[in-house]
Amino acid sequence: MNATHLVCGGAGFVAQTLNARLLADGGRVIAVDNLSRGKKAYLDGFAASKGFEFYDLDCTNKEALEALAEASGTVGGIGHIWHLAANSDIPAGIADASIDLKDTFLTTFHLAELAKRFAIPELHFASSSAVYGDQGERAIHEDLGPLLPISNYGAMKLASEAQLRAAVEAFLPRADIFRFPNVIGVPATHGVILDFVRKLKATPTSLTVLGNGAQQKPYLHVDDLVDAMLFIASEARSRYNVFNIGPLDAGVTVRFIAETVRDAVSPGAKIVYGSQDRGWIGDVPRFNYDTRRLAGLGWTPKLSSEAAVVKAVAEIAAQESAQKAFQLHRE
Amino acid sequence: MNATHLVCGGAGFVAQTLNARLLADGGRVIAVDNLSRGKKAYLDGFAASKGFEFYDLDCTNKEALEALAEASGTVGGIGHIWHLAANSDIPAGIADASIDLKDTFLTTFHLAELAKRFAIPELHFASSSAVYGDQGERAIHEDLGPLLPISNYGAMKLASEAQLRAAVEAFLPRADIFRFPNVIGVPATHGVILDFVRKLKATPTSLTVLGNGAQQKPYLHVDDLVDAMLFIASEARSRYNVFNIGPLDAGVTVRFIAETVRDAVSPGAKIVYGSQDRGWIGDVPRFNYDTRRLAGLGWTPKLSSEAAVVKAVAEIAAQESAQKAFQLHRE
């Protein structure tokens, strides 16, 4: 893909890997991020890259987006929007619905408007398995109904999908909907592995786990995720493509993650579990994620959930040690 | 239901019938409408009713809604929100997505926020069969997937459902989702019957129909619709209830409607059809609407699609003649 890519949420976790791949493929990357969760430091590695630009702006800022598109139009125009911007703090969004409204849905709304105004032909959207909600033991495939999101995050991802579906009917030549599973790797900004690593570094003798540890979820390493996104963008043939992205296995338990983190960070620590099967409102206890549509298209992940967790734990522990060393160095 | 009802979109088409029923049942009705499509004149019949109040305000006006809830709290508090506010002009919403964003979705967002802040226990939402999109010949039941809205109207109804589903998980004791079919009756503000009546009154010799007339849809009379809404609110037992509301039959064709209007308004007129199977973007050509869930709850409509059309055509023709007489009287 030799083209100009607008990457929204371009200073976030997934974007770091996506930016690198798009640049390696010869693309031009215009990264946009309001730095509410993303960090400019994540982009240090791209500073020297020809074809990389970063803008500190909010993807709901219509005027600024239009000015950017206008400017980039003179050198070829934007060919792809990659929409990765969202509020990833699910409990914060449940406490204050306006966060997900703005960061998770209105970003989509304004990016679709931008695509309309500047005739941008492809919009690739980071949706989420959270659109399904708690489906119990049902196999979760892309055509499943009813969709019952149990967090504002999931609700606003579903709202975004709906907006894009209508956009495809009216003006947008193509939209890809990537329904992300739990994605792990670095730079980690949130999530259960980072929480556990930080807790154990703060209190090396014990690790307290929300819930009883039996929650089981699929996990995908961010390298596999981005590979799947690029594969779908290249190989899927419909104007509106919805794909679950995930590993082929049924996932790993919170207990497995806790033990992997303990073994890597503080092998002598005691792990203390709660009694509930849910850690917090909006958390889904069990998840049977069907990724056969993507397998049928010809893509398979390199790492299983277990292998992804083992790799990510090592990466995140290293990230946090480096952080610590950096802080000590500054003191 | 002896309670205080906040009816948003309270000066619109469906609200006129709902207000009357709620008042007849001994309820107090606080009708709120921004009068973008609703009309104050529709409420003339309630002016003398004890227990009826009207406020000209927008349901996205957070401060005004809160002041209203605060004030009504001192005399018992709002027990029910009936959310009927929406942009009903589907083509206008496709041309300008911000209309459906604000009128169809942000109304829901702010009413859910109001319910949270004032602990309002029940929110009854006028959703739409438009959330399903074009499903071809498939039987459309409430658990169908995938949902593929093809208009911003349908997309923002789906977004609203998602927001309410998450609200039920987090704080809202109960939400009812009514998926409306095409609803007909008076006061008619839009829709195919009103269009045909007005066209024929303007040009009594011929009636031009968008599309080939083969489009078939179920139609429900507004009296039946409101009866179903009240029945569901009273009889359904879940915290989140989703119901298709519609007739038991497969519907009537545009041709049947055109002929019924012609016979009532201008029997000698020639009807001229187009060649496409869709009248406009966002219009669904055929529709197999499954209402067995509602039948299972114990409700059936009094009128079939055919009978509803015959009745509504007579009502709307009378409405338009009265309008004409009123205009002549003023000249």
Please tell me the predicted confidence (pLDDT) of residue B328.
60
**CA torsion sign, B82 to B43 to B217 to B135?**
negative
Alpha carbon distance B171, B213 (integer Å): 46
Kindly list the residues from chain B whose CB atom is less than 8 angstroms away from the CB atom of residue A109: 97, 101
Q: Residue A257 to residues A41, A89, A206, A215, B53: CA-CA distances in angstroms?
A: 28, 20, 14, 11, 58
Which chain A residues have a beta carbon less than 8 Å from that of B147? 145, 147, 162
Q: Quick one: pLDDT at residue B200?
A: 96
pLDDT at A89: 87
Instruction: Report d(CA B251, CA B245) in Å as an integer.
Output: 13
**Segment holding B170, helix H or strand E:** helix B152-170
Task: Return the pLDDT at B241.
Answer: 98
Interface test with B, best of A147, A151, A241, A278 (most B CBs within 10 A): A147
Which residue of A147, A151, A166 is in closest CB contact with B151? Answer: A166
B136: left (phi over 0), alpha (psi -120 to 50) or beta: left
CB B59 within 8 A of CB B85: yes
Alpha carbon distances (Å) from B252 to A60, A188, B212, B228: 43, 57, 14, 21
Domains of chain A: 4-184+219-244 (3.40.50.720), 192-217+251-287+305-330 (3.90.25.10)
Reported in sequence order, the residue ranges of B13-117 that DSSP labels E, i.e. its strands, are 28-33, 52-56, 80-83
H helical segments located in B29-89: 62-73
At A30 the three-state DSSP class reads strand
Question: Which residues of chain B have a CB within 8 Å of the CB of A133?
Answer: 165
Search chain A and give the residue with CA nearest B282: A169
Q: Render B197-239 in DSSP notation, one character per residue.
A: HHHHHHSTTEEEESS-S--EE-EEEHHHHHHHHHHHHHH--SS
pLDDT at A326: 60
ipTM of the complex: 0.90
CB contact under 8 A, B165 and A133: yes
Question: Encoding tokens for residue A218?
Answer: 């699929």
Contact B169 A109 (CB under 8 A): no
pLDDT confidence of residue A185? 97
What pLDDT shows up at residue A148? 95
Tokens 């290249």, located at residue:
A234
If you ran DSSP here, which 8-state letter would residue A101 be given? Answer: I
Cis bond upstream, residue B187 (ω within 30): yes
**Mean pLDDT, range A286-297, rounded to an integer:** 90
Q: Tokens representing A301? A: 């992940």
pLDDT score for B210:
86
Residue A74 to chain B, least CA–CA distance (Å): 26
**Residue ranges of chain B whose pLDDT lies below 70:** 1-2, 73-76, 277-286, 324-331
Sequence-ordered list of residues with C-beta below 8 angstroms from that of A288, at least 6 positions apart, any chain: A135, A137, A138, A139, A140, A250
Shortest CB distance from B113 goes to which of A97, A158, A170? A97
Distance from CA of B164 to the nearest CA of A (A): 8
Least CB-CB distance to B170: which of A94, A143, A162? A94
List the single residue in B144, B155, B281 with the smallest CB-CB distance to A165: B155
What is the token pair recorded at A307?
Answer: 């292998």
Q: Is the dihedral of CA B243, B156, A105, A99 positive or negative?
A: negative
Q: Which residues of A touch B133 (CB under 8 A)?
A: 165
Cis peptide before A285 (omega within 30 of 0): no
Query: Which of these, B211, B158, B118, lies nearest to A165 by C-alpha position?
Result: B158
How close does chain B come to A293, measured CA to CA in Å? 14
For A327, the token pair is 């802080």
CB pairs under 8 A between A and B: 115
Tell me the CA distances in angstroms from A86 to A89, A156, A157, A239, B242, one per residue in order. Answer: 9, 9, 9, 24, 28
pLDDT digits (tens, 9 = 90+) for B116-134: 999 999 999 999 999 999 8
Give the pLDDT band of residue A196 (cuts 50, 70, 90). very high
What is the pLDDT, as a whole number, of residue B171? 97
Find out whether A79 and A122 touch, Cβ atoms under 8 Å: yes
Minimum CA–CA partner of B91 in chain A: A170
pLDDT of residue A217: 86
Tell me: pLDDT of A161 over 80: yes
8 Å CB contact of B155 and A162: yes
List, in sequence order, every residue forming a beta bridge with A54; answer none if it has no partner: A31
**pLDDT higher for A216 or A151?**
A151
Q: Considering only CA atoms, which of B148, B192, B290 is closest in space to residue A142?
A: B148
Confidence of residue A73 (pLDDT cuts 50, 70, 90): low
